[in-house]
C-alpha cells in the first residue's frame, strides 16, 4: 500500500510542477485538479473516507470558481524574463529549501515511522472508548460534533466571515468604476 501512496504523491508533484509552469492559465487550473483528486485517492488509501468525500466536493467547487474567474478575466500567462532579480529569487528559494529541510529533519526525528503511530494514540483512545456516550457510529463525526464541538463552531464562524468578506469585496465599487 505504501508503494501506491508513493505513486500518487509523485503524480501530485508532477501535476503541481506542470500547473505552476503552464503557459495558459486554463491548463494551469486543470492540472491543479490533478493535485486535488490525487489527494482524494491518497485519503482513500489512508482509510479516511470522510475526508475523501469532503475533498471531492471542495476540489470541484474550487475548480469551478477558478475557471469562472479565468473565463471572466484573461487566461494569458506573463512571459518569462530572467533578469537579476530572478537570480535573487532562486537564491532565496535555495536558502528556504535548506532551512526547511534542516527543520524537517529535526522534526521527523521526533515522529514515529509511517504506520507505527499506535503507541501515541492516548487522546484518540480516550475518544474511541468514550464514543458510546455520544451515540455516533462514525468516530470522526463523533469527534467533530461532540468532543470538539467548539472547534466546529469556530469553523462555522470562519466560514461566515469568509462569505461576508467575499460578498463585501465583490460589491464595493472601485475608483475606476465610479467614472
Calculate helix-pair angle for 25-45, 2-21, nearest 10 degrees. Answer: 170
* CA angle (60, 63, 66) in 5-degree steps: 150
Question: Minimum distance from CB of 159 to another protein (Å)?
Answer: 5
Place of cell 477558478: 66
Contact set for another protein, span 147-176 (CB under 8 A):
148, 151-152, 155, 158-159, 162-163, 165-166, 169-170, 174-176
CA distance 71 to 24: 12
Question: Minimum distance from CB of 66 to another protein (Å)?
Answer: 7
CA distance 54 to 45: 15
Q: Which of 50, 71, 102, 130 binds another protein (CB under 8 A)?
A: 50
64 part of the interface to another protein, by CB under 8 A:
no
Q: Which of 100, 102, 133, 178 binds another protein (CB under 8 A)?
A: 100
71 part of the interface to another protein, by CB under 8 A:
no
Residues 6+ apart with CB under 8 A from 171: none
Q: Are 142 and 134 in contact (CB under 8 A)?
A: yes
177 part of the interface to another protein, by CB under 8 A:
yes
Question: Minimum distance from CB of 112 to another protein (Å)?
Answer: 8
27 part of the interface to another protein, by CB under 8 A:
no
DSSP secondary structure code for residue 65 in this structure: H
Residues facing residue 119 across a β-bridge: none
Q: Which of 47, 84, 129, 178 binds another protein (CB under 8 A)?
A: 47
Question: What is the helix (H) or strand (E) element at residue 53, kind and residue range?
Answer: helix 49-72
CA distance 110 to 55: 29
67 part of the interface to another protein, by CB under 8 A:
no
Question: Minimum distance from CB of 33 to another protein (Å)?
Answer: 11
Contact set for another protein, span 109-138 (CB under 8 A):
111, 113-118, 121, 123-124, 127-128, 131, 136-138
The nearer residue to another protein, 32 or 84, going by C-beta atoms, is 32
Amino acid at each position: 500500500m505504501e508503494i501506491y501512496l508513493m505513486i500518487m504523491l509523485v503524480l501530485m508533484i508532477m501535476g503541481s510542477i506542470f500547473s505552476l509552469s503552464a503557459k495558459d492559465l486554463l491548463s494551469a487550473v486543470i492540472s491543479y485538479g490533478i493535485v486535488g483528486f490525487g489527494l482524494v485517492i491518497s485519503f482513500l488509501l489512508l482509510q479516511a473516507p470522510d475526508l475523501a468525500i469532503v475533498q471531492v466536493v471542495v476540489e470541484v467547487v474550487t475548480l469551478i470558481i477558478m475557471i469562472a474567474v479565468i473565463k471572466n478575466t484573461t487566461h494569458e500567462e506573463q512571459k518569462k524574463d530572467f533578469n537579476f532579480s530572478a537570480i535573487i529569487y532562486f537564491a532565496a528559494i535555495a536558502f528556504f529549501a535548506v532551512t526547511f529541510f534542516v527543520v524537517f529533519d529535526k522534526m521527523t526525528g521526533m515522529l514515529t515511522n509511517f504506520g507505527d503511530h499506535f503507541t501515541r494514540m492516548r487522546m484518540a483512545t480516550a475518544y474511541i472508548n468514550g464514543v458510546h456516550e455520544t451515540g455516533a457510529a462514525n468516530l470522526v463525526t463523533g469527534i467533530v460534533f461532540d468532543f470538539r464541538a467548539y472547534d466546529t463552531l469556530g469553523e462555522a464562524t470562519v466560514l461566515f466571515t469568509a462569505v461576508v468578506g467575499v460578498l463585501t469585496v465583490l460589491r464595493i465599487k472601485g475608483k475606476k468604476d465610479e467614472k
